Structure 1
Amino acid sequence: MTSLPDLEAMAIFAKVVEMRSFSAAAAELKLSKATVSKAVTRLETRLGARLFNRTSRRLALTESGARLADRARQLLADGEAAEDEILAQSSQPRGLVRLAAPMSFGLIELAPLLPEVLAAYPDVAIDLHMSDEAIDLVGMGFDMALRIASLPDSSLIARRIGPVHRHVVAAPGYLARHGRPTHPSHLAEHACLGYAYLPTPETWRFVNAAGEEVAVRPSGPLRANNADALLPALEAGLGLAVQPDFIVRDCLAAGRLEVVLEGWSPPPVALHLVMPPGGPRPARVEVVASFLARRLAQRCAIAARPASTDGVS
């Protein structure tokens, strides 16, 4: 396999040609004169040709050196231009930000904020991907994602934005027909509507203020991979479900659903903004991340306000 060109040595060679001196090139590049000399010698060895005729007083290009000089200068100029372009993009909020978010949260809480962030940063564009499934940020090339979870340790950089409260809810008609459960163990006698992306969808876990933990295995007529899809069945009185506050808030306020199992709650989860590891990040990513973290923290505080026991939040 052919090895890659020694671009560093070519760039140093071009700088020596430009400055007409090894010492001046070393000072310009903030390198030692020995490092500059070794780079040129390395290049000469690789090419099998002398590039300079050197005396104590004079430095002159050989025929081979003269042929290489123009190309080396162009390589150096292209490299400097490429760095300048990327640095300019990094310092100015400009370009595309790829963002992933859960479907329901994205529609209810995130999407209303996008006109504001786009107005604040007119040179920034957002590619929004919404799915309740946790995607591979690095593998799919996303700049950031919003996730509602108790995040496991990982290489991702996570910023906690705020808590997300979840409740067991049911329609008044369902409770009138089947009774109101007061302990998680009572759920074995009820129809439970399942959300496929719960941390443990086959097992619902609860904890009370005293720290007592209970796990139950729910069963029921419907399971979906999006929590919003459970709302029609909930309101029709087909069962109970664990739902985040931001999805059922309006239904609770209108009395179409009620909170049950007061005093018991699912394990706590929070909204996080996660990014791939590494840095520094382009300005377009930083400004969008800061904007969303600030505004969603406000929204999260409202959405996470506990619902009252009479079903009105």
Structure 2
Amino acid sequence: MDNLRPIECFVRAAELGSIAAAARKLGITPAAASQNIARLEETLGTRLMRRTTRRLALTEAGRVYLERVAPLLEALERAGDAAVALGGRPRGRLKIACSIAFGRHVLARLLPRFLAAYPEIAVELALGDISADHLGDDIDVSIRFQNQLEPGLISRRLLTVPIHLVASPAYLARAGTPRTPEALKDHDCLAFRFARNGRILPWGFVRDGARFEPPLGVKIVANDIDTLATLALAGQGITRLGAFLADPLIEEGRLVSLFARPGDGAALGTAAEGAASFADPEPLEIYVCVVDRLAETAKIRAFIDFVVEMLTGPWPPRSLSGG
């Protein structure tokens, strides 16, 4: 793409707000990027940018040129990636974004098998509970919960993960066991707060086909699910955990799952007590996402095929349960 380098330098500098940032993105020196833009301006016979030591601004001609040329440059890059993907083997850096808890407790357990199958791929994990920006954060593929899906993403559903409302035996012995979700208002609840918008994650339930969110007696708020699990283990209250984190703790007897379906033996109380007021905790729907089909290079396609094979199906998938 060397013959397009001046255009590429101009577009990246306009997008990133500085020539130095464009140079880093392209792996060249700032001086080379500046010279490329100057050559482009000389070829066009007009100034595209006004550059000072503190800021970069497009001229009117620069804005018009960027509007026309940026989509063409992107299309060329994607066409090249698609052509390589058809004939190439999976290789290179693969940047994957997902939530912290899912990354720790699910993806980290699967990656050794993926890397053993594709030794020429190097993985970078971008773990965070703020939805990643595929373009701005240079993300190849993301794994998201349903409420993190955004317009413009192409998504494929992977699996449904059960949610458990859990507390330690010590907390339940001290505070009593809530029999219905409505009783949570009288208990110490350990809640998750979204970093992006500051909202507390609601605890959704489904009863007789209708979804509802009971009021909570929030005692502690944190923006990390593993921290909430640790607090629940320490007897500080009731929290909401995905099965990938909760299941082992429940099996070990360190946490108790509340509001289980009558007769399944997973919760305290009798079937008669719970039959009329039973409610299912709303599960997590998990998706794998890309920003564009043309962006699916060989390495991205290999990863999507891998997680579909490993995770699609009923919970727990065999890849995690050892079956």
Which residue is 1:65 aligned to?
none
Please state whether the residue corresponding to 1:301 is helix, strand or coil: coil
Greater Rg over alpha carbons, structure: 1
Task: Look up the equivalent residue of 1:230 and give its one-letter code.
Answer: L
Structure 2, gaps ≥5 residues long: 5-42, 44-75, 261-277
Which residue is 1:223 aligned to?
221
For 1:103-141, what per-residue CA distance to the aligned partner results, in whole angstroms no more than 9, with x for missing partners? 121112111222221121122111111112211112211
Whole-angstrom CA distance in 2 between matches of 1:279 and 1:88? 9
1:286 maps to 2:301: yes
Task: Look up the equivalent residue of 1:194 and give its one-letter code.
Answer: A
Whole-angstrom CA distance in 2 between matches of 1:212 and 1:200? 26
For 1:189-238, what per-residue CA distance to the aligned partner results, in whole angstroms no more than 9, with x for missing partners? 11100012399954634434412443233233321111111122111211
Task: Look up the equivalent residue of 1:283 and give its one-letter code.
Answer: A
Conservation of the 8 A alpha-carbon contact between 2:156 and 2:287: yes
In structure 2, the CA distance between the partners of 1:141 and 1:120, relative to structure 1 (3 Å rule), is same
Whole-angstrom CA distance in 2 between matches of 1:266 and 1:235? 20
Whole-angstrom CA distance in 2 between matches of 1:91 and 1:280? 14
1:107 maps to 2:104: yes
Once the two structures are overlaid, the 10-residue window that deviates more, 213-222 or 169-178, is: 213-222
Match of 1:92 among 89, 92, 106: 89
Conservation of the 8 A alpha-carbon contact between 1:204 and 1:217: no
TM-score normalised by the chain length of structure 1: 0.64
TM-score normalised by the chain length of structure 2: 0.62
Conservation of the 8 A alpha-carbon contact between 2:203 and 2:240: no
Match of 1:141 among 125, 138, 143: 138
Whole-angstrom CA distance in 2 between matches of 1:121 and 1:301? 25
Match of 2:185 among 188, 200, 221: 188
Q: Size of the alignment, in residue pairs?
A: 227
Which residue is 1:176 aligned to?
173
- Counterparts of residues 127-166 of structure 1 (less than 5 Å): 127-152=124-149, 154-166=151-163
In structure 2, the CA distance between the partners of 1:83 and 1:171, relative to structure 1 (3 Å rule), is closer
Whole-angstrom CA distance in 2 between matches of 1:154 and 1:179? 44
Please state whether the residue corresponding to 2:177 is helix, strand or coil: coil
In structure 2, the CA distance between the partners of 1:174 and 1:83, relative to structure 1 (3 Å rule), is closer
For 1:158-196, what per-residue CA distance to the aligned partner results, in whole angstroms no more than 9, with x for missing partners? 010000111111111111111111122211111100012
Which residue is 2:310 aligned to?
295
TM-aligned CA deviation for residue 243 of structure 1: 1.0
- Counterparts of residues 200-219 of structure 1 (less than 5 Å): 201-202=199-200, 204-219=202-217
TM-aligned CA deviation for residue 246 of structure 1: 0.8
In structure 2, the CA distance between the partners of 1:128 and 1:205, relative to structure 1 (3 Å rule), is closer
Task: Look up the equivalent residue of 1:171 and give its one-letter code.
Answer: S
